[in-house]
């Protein structure tokens, strides 16, 4: 098969060399016709015909000698045009020598000067015509995939150009049409294709071309629009491929950059630009302690903090296995004996005091918490003891050793809370605000939504259900949540800690909320497991269809970073917490509900 293809290519190149020789011969006749005032009889004189034959033979010999037969170039490429121009120049010099250095031909002296120009124009024109005809017209083989390119901008142009140049013999992505929603681009030619219209013409385009794949060639597309296109592709039974965001393209867009849609695309999260100098002032050379260091956010915070060279980084958690895993990810070794681990429960104030007295941290990130909404609805006393009293214990221990910066990790469920998790985290924010008012140092809270890939997150649950063959359980088709990536959330927490004003709640920009149903569909698509069913189970107590980042009445202002805002929350005293009399699950629920939904803003 390979040998046949090589012979065919050689025959094609030899055919082009013969065509060039014919063009040179015709160029002699054309030049003579012009010279003799378009008198065909004089232009076909025997001497002229002989000179034309000699010119064609010279072109043929020169073409073979310079390797035009043996060195394939893309038709009309710079390499080929340069080679054609060199050949025409050599032939032109030879024709001049034949006229002026020999007495073999008695022809007008102007012909050797005109012939190379006409020949060159003719050879270039033929290549242009062939390339224009073939431009964008690719044969779709049995193993190839016909693709509709969505986007007629620069990304689409680059992608079409790259796909058209794919010379592989099978399994190619072959562009068969272009669509774009901009009405001004309708019928616009782009790399050999005319824009067929917008998304409303997709059915017609599919029927006409037999396309099976939709390639989104808009690297700067918003997540919201990408979700709409994903629905569109599913409705038309098309596979969906996307180009990554502009910041992740190492060069011009190409077919190799196309990939399956992933959850990060649906989130449309922005690339974080951190103010490293400000963060360094907060962390570098300081003693730093992270509670909940074995958790998803805590462990990523540890890894991010380590990049800023703290004097000492202490990892505190009650889960010894989680501490082991975090230290392994941080140092590549986990002997558990280097003095940076603190096995401690934040519900034990005496143990916390000992750790803080021994380590005397200057910066504390408090990430330890219970976070599963449904479980905490069933066991509200656990939320009270960990998220409220545990936070009070950490704050007290931090204040006792004069911590400079204290950062409490909160949740969007603390804004207008409707569940035990939200009640408890709202109280943690209010406690942090209390310490900011009456104690030395900077005390701030950071509020954000769900974190993609964290332990126990919806992503983990869906993935496990898919592995088991389904069904995937979703509470409601319209339920939506804010999502962030773990590294992104951790970086913004560090930024918030560096710029946070004492007592404020720093609220991270979560982008647009994402439907949980879309997340389920995407994970099922990525798994490539057929027949996975989605079952709706109904909303559970304490759940909302949509979360909020801000409570009603909160005064929102910029925190000095494009992705961080801030609000104030009313303080609640440690004495009020200590004297609450909470000792039963229902009393915990009622007390947290009352205290977290009253006094929402500072007065």
H or E element that contains 317 = strand 312-317
Name the H helices within 473-546.
Answer: 486-499, 516-527
DSSP tag of 199: G
Q: What are phi and psi of 347, to 5 degrees?
A: -80, -5
**What are the residues whose beta carbons fall under 8 Å from the beta carbon of 127, sequence distance 6 or more?**
75, 76, 80, 81, 84
Please name which of 492, 467, 471, 472 lies closest in space to residue 482, comparing C-alpha atoms: 492
- Region of 285 (left: φ > 0; alpha: ψ -120 to 50; beta: rest) is left
Using CA atoms, how far residue 171 sits from 142, 255, 398, in Å, is: 8, 12, 62
Residue whose token pair is 């000698």: 65
Helix (H, G, I), strand (E, B) or coil at 212: coil
Q: What value does the CA radius of gyration of the chain take, rounded to a whole number of Å?
A: 36
CB 583 within 8 A of CB 443: no
Q: What are phi and psi of 474, to 5 degrees?
A: -125, 135
Q: What are phi and psi of 564, to 5 degrees?
A: -135, 125
H or E element that contains 463 = helix 458-467
CB 176 within 8 A of CB 192: no
Is residue 111 exposed (0-12), middle (13-18) or buried (19+ Cβ within 10 Å)? buried
How far apart CA 94 and CA 59 sit, in angstroms, is: 10
Residues with catalytic roles: 413
How far apart CA 587 and CA 580 sit, in angstroms, is: 9
């Amino acid at each position: 098969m390979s040998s046949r293809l090589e012979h065919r290519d050689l025959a094609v190149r030899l055919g082009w060399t013969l065509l060039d020789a014919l063009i040179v011969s015709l160029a002699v006749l054309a030049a003579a016709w012009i010279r003799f005032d378009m008198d065909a009889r004089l232009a076909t004189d025997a001497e002229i015909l002989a000179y034309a034959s000699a010119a064609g033979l010279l072109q043929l010999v020169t073409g073979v000698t310079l390797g035009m037969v043996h060195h394939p170039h893309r038709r009309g490429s710079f390499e080929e045009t340069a080679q054609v121009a060199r050949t025409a120049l050599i032939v032109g010099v030879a024709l001049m020598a034949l006229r002026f250095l020999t007495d073999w031909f008695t022809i007008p002296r102007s012909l050797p000067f005109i012939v190379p120009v006409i020949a060159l124009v003719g050879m270039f024109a033929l290549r242009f015509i062939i390339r224009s005809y073939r431009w964008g017209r690719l044969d779709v083989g049995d193993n190839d995939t016909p693709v509709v390119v969505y986007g007629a901008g620069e990304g689409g142009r680059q992608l079409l150009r790259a796909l058209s140049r794919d010379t592989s013999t099978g399994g190619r992505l072959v562009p068969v049409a272009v669509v774009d929603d901009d009405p001004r681009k309708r019928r616009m030619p782009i790399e050999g294709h005319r824009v067929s219209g917008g998304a409303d013409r997709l059915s017609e385009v599919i029927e006409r071309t037999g396309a099976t794949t939709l390639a989104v060639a808009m690297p700067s597309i918003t997540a919201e629009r990408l979700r709409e296109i994903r629905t569109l592709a599913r409705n038309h039974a098309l596979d969906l491929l996307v180009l990554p965001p502009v910041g992740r393209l190492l060069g011009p867009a190409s077919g190799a950059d196309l990939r399956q849609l992933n959850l990060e695309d649906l989130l449309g999260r922005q690339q974080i630009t951190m103010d490293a100098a400000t963060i360094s002032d907060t962390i570098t050379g300081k003693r730093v302690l992270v509670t909940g260091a074995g958790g998803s956010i805590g462990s990523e915070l540890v890894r991010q903090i380590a990049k800023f060279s703290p004097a000492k980084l202490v990892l505190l958690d009650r889960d010894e296995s989680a501490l082991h895993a975090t230290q392994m990810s941080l140092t590549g070794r986990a002997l558990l004996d280097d003095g940076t681990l603190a096995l401690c429960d934040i519900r034990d104030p005496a143990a916390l005091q000992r750790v803080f007295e021994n380590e005397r941290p200057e910066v504390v990130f408090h990430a330890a918490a219970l976070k599963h909404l449904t479980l905490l609805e069933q066991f509200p006393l656990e939320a009270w003891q960990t998220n409220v009293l545990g936070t009070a214990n950490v704050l007290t221990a931090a204040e006792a050793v004069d911590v400079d910066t204290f950062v409490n990790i909160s949740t969007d469920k603390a804004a207008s809370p409707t569940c035990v998790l939200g009640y408890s985290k709202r109280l943690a924010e209010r406690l942090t605000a209390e310490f900011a008012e009456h104690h030395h140092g900077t005390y701030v809270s950071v509020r954000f939504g769900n974190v993609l890939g964290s332990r126990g997150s919806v992503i983990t649950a869906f993935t496990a259900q898919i592995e088991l063959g389904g069904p995937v359980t979703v509470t409601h088709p319209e339920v939506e949540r804010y999502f962030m990536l773990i590294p992104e959330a951790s970086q913004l927490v560090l930024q918030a800690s560096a710029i946070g004003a004492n007592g404020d709640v720093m609220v991270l920009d979560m982008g647009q909320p994402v439907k949980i149903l879309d997340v389920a569909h995407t994970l099922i698509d990525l798994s490539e497991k057929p027949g996975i069913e989605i079952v709706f189970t109904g909303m559970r107590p304490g759940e909302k269809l949509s979360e909020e980042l801000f409570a009603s009445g909160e005064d929102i202002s910029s925190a000095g970073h494009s992705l961080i805002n801030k609000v104030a929350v009313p303080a609640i005293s440690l004495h009020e917490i200590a004297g609450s009399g909470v000792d039963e699950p229902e009393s915990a629920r009622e007390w947290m509900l009352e205290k977290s939904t009253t006094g929402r803003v500072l007065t």
